[in-house]
A and B are shown apart, each in its own frame.
Chain A
Amino acid sequence: MTALGKLVRTTTFKIVAVYLLVFAVIAGALILYLARHTQDLVVSQLTETVEAEVRILNDQYRIGGIRRLVAVVDQRAAQPGSNLYLVTTYAGVALAGNVTDVPTSALDSQGWTEITYRRPEGGESTRESRALVRVFFLQGGFRLMVGRDFEERERLRQILAVPARWAVVLLVVLGVVGGLVVARRVLGRIDAMTASSGRIMAGDLAGRLPVAGSGDEFDRLANSLNTMLERIEGLMAGLKHVSDNIAHDLKTPLTRLRNRAEEALRTSQGEAGYRAALEATLEESEHLIRTFDALLMIARAEAGEAREGMVDFDAADVAKSVAELYEPLAEESGMTLGVEADGPLPVRGHRELVSQALANLVDNAIKHGAGEVRISARREGDQVLLTVADRGPGIPEKDRARVLERFVRLEASRSRPGSGLGLSLAAAVARLHGTEIKLADNNPGLRVSLALPLRPGYDKA
């Protein structure tokens, strides 16, 4: 492609061209309108002047006939800057007036017409000029012509023409400069965005689009794209984290599984030995399946796929039902499980996932807590909080954000059973509902709250 072709294809060129065109059209229309209007004005003034003159002459003619008319015309024609006058006989011989070389055809008919004439000044005939005249036929074949030179119109036209020419030059310059400035400003930022996205595409996921800070459309665009990039980066980081953890948390039991099978084969200890090995293998595979299910559940909740399963339900019912399910277990573990849920607390959400998340929290509390576990459901603003509080060792503040991630188990609890996915599932369920999970100190112990949006349109009693 030629350099010119490239130039024509750039948006800068197009913007400048459009700018120029728009400027030119507007300016042209303005000038044309102005010119027309002033010309019309001048012509109507000429007409009025001539008509006033005609009235005077007509009066004189009626009083004194052709003689008086000739005398008056002679007198008026001699005045400086006078109108044009001509009185002729039927044959076209001039009786009075200040015009010569009028084409005879101009006097052949009555009414308004434009003529070219010469005006004798100081005895000599001068330059040709144009005028607007009115012709009358009088009795006896005499003809009267009264008119006014177009001189004023010409002068006005010249007065207008010069600035108009300058205006055009100015317009072109302003149009080009304006177009260039706008194009440079707009396209410069687009180019910067293109360059940034190029870098991000090349793998710099931490990169962001430039924001000028002016809050204009480009900033809004850059901001929303940046938010999107942040979400993508977060998801990518999550994915990486998950794959790292899957590698660890699924491969470890898989390795154990394999080792057990190999060991049983190697050191065949009779039927009882095989049996024990197979039972251990089954147990290990159960554990693997559980971990896998939990991971799939989290992935689904996070992908927002479970959104279809949203229904209206009473959060207080869920709290009571989960408490009922876990109460015997707590008792067997030497703890008490209390529930505080005054319904109805209508929410819109995924009942099954919320129940599971709450069950996981209660399960955690029973595993790690001591003494008493309390489940509560209450309204707070336009949210319903499902809270599980225990009296266990709690979680140090610095670790609280981390335990919500998948597979994270604090060293202190590594040896206890569990997939380490309970809290992350609860967090994913909260995200599915557009809320979040909060960990707080129960002094002593841990207090975990899962917030749910109150059913839209539900009025407080």
Chain B
Amino acid sequence: MRLLVVEDDRDAADYLKKALRESGHVAEVARDGEEGLALALDDEFDVLIVDRMLPKRDGLSVVSELRARGRSTPVLILSALGQVDDRVTGLRAGGDDYLAKPYSFSELLARIEALARRVAPQASDTTYKVGDLELDRLAHSVTRGGQDIPLQPREFRLLEYLMRHAGQVVTRTMLLENVWDYHFDPQTNVIDVHVSRLRSKIDKGFDKPLLHTVRGAGYMIRDGAR
């Protein structure tokens, strides 16, 4: 993927650039808001990573200007302001996701990949398929190998989110935000318990596990053969 990092802190920008390259992405860096806006308008990027507080032009104004000029490139806003209300203003300005500093790189990477996928057409598919696991969004039904798997509504939404991002790492925070719509830290890892419940329903009794734990990052659903 081609990414643009708009970040004024040299160390943070260099670290991001290097880490992203190691993950197989190409990252350009802009050091202030004006430069970031110019680059974003000039070039095609898959995802923009924009710091909220920037010299010359702040991050939110970069995003809203971009949107005003009809660009729909997905934007991840980074900010030291991590409260709910800050998040809301960030998303209102046209950001697609919001990540509070300090963040872990795996969280950032997972979110960038989810954002890039968001524009892919299959997000609107009515059925998701991973291996022999099938989820029908309209009928609200899940089958594996033709066998019906009854799920609670929340479990269904959890699986739906995981399957929409099949093959991608999904972090616990992403699940909490997107499946439960909570934006706070629940102290204990309640998400793990929900995921292991789901896992016992879709993987138990089948030889090939589909729902995997990615150490230090989160979860991923994928066909083991890939």
Q: Which A residues contact B (CB, under 8 angstroms)?
A: 282, 285, 289-290, 293-294, 296-297, 300, 305-306, 308-309, 321, 324-326, 328-329, 331-332, 350, 352-353, 355-356, 359-360, 363, 366-367, 418-419, 422
Q: Across the interface, which residues of A come within 8 angstroms of B188, CB to CB?
A: 329, 363, 366-367
B187:A360 contact, CB within 8 angstroms: yes
CB contact between A418 and one of B180, B184, B187, B193 (< 8 Å): that residue: B187
Given known contacts A293-B82, A296-B83, A328 and B193 CB-to-CB distance under 8 angstroms: yes
Pair B193/A359 contact, Cβ less than 8 Å = no
Question: A-facing mask of B12-29, CB < 8 A → 1, else 0?
Answer: 000000000000000000
Asked if B149 lies at the interface with its beta carbon under 8 angstroms from chain A, I say no
Q: Which of B104, B154, B186 contacts A363 (CB 8 A)?
A: B186
Query: Given A309-B84, A326-B190, A328-B197, do A355 and B184 touch, yes or no (CB 8 Å)?
Result: yes
B-side binding surface: helix, strand, loop or mixed? loop
Tell me the complex Cα distance, A305–B182, Å: 20
A422 — nearest CB in chain B belongs to which residue?
B187
Note all chain A residues with C-beta closer than 8 A to B180: 321, 325
Residue contact B85 to A359, C-beta cutoff 8 Å: no
Q: Say which size band chain B's interface belongs to.
A: 20 to 34
- Whether A328 lies near B190 (C-beta < 8 A) is yes
* A290/B190 contact (C-beta < 8 A), A300-B83, A309-B85 known: no
How does the 8 Å CB contact mask read for B78-96 relative to A, with 1 for contact and 0 for none? Answer: 0000111100100000000
Sample of 18 A–B contacts (CB below 8 Å): A285-B102, A290-B187, A293-B82, A293-B100, A296-B83, A297-B83, A300-B83, A308-B85, A309-B85, A321-B180, A325-B182, A325-B190, A328-B190, A328-B197, A329-B188, A352-B182, A352-B184, A356-B182
Cross-chain contact B194 with A328 (CB below 8 angstroms): yes
Alpha-carbon gap, A113 to B207, bound state (A): 139
In the complex, are the beta carbons of B185 and A290 less than 8 A apart? yes
Mostly helix, strand, loop or mixed at chain A's interface? helix
* A324 and B100 alpha carbons, distance in the complex (Å): 26
Task: State the B residues within 8 Å of A (CB).
Answer: 82-85, 88, 100, 102, 104, 154, 180, 182-188, 190, 193-194, 197
How far does the alpha carbon of A293 sit from the alpha carbon of B100 in the complex, in Å?
Answer: 10
Instruction: List the 3 closest A-B pairs by CB distance, nearest first.
Output: A328-B193, A356-B184, A352-B84
- Rounded to whole Å, the gap between the CB of A219 and the closest CB of chain B is 40
Residues of B within 8 A of A324 (CB): 154
- By a CB distance below 8 angstroms, the chain A residues around B182 are 325, 352, 355-356, 359
Smallest CB separation, A291 vs chain B (Å)? 10
CB contact under 8 A between A352 and B190, given known A289-B102, A300-B83: no
B102 neighbours in A (Cβ, 8 Å): 285, 289
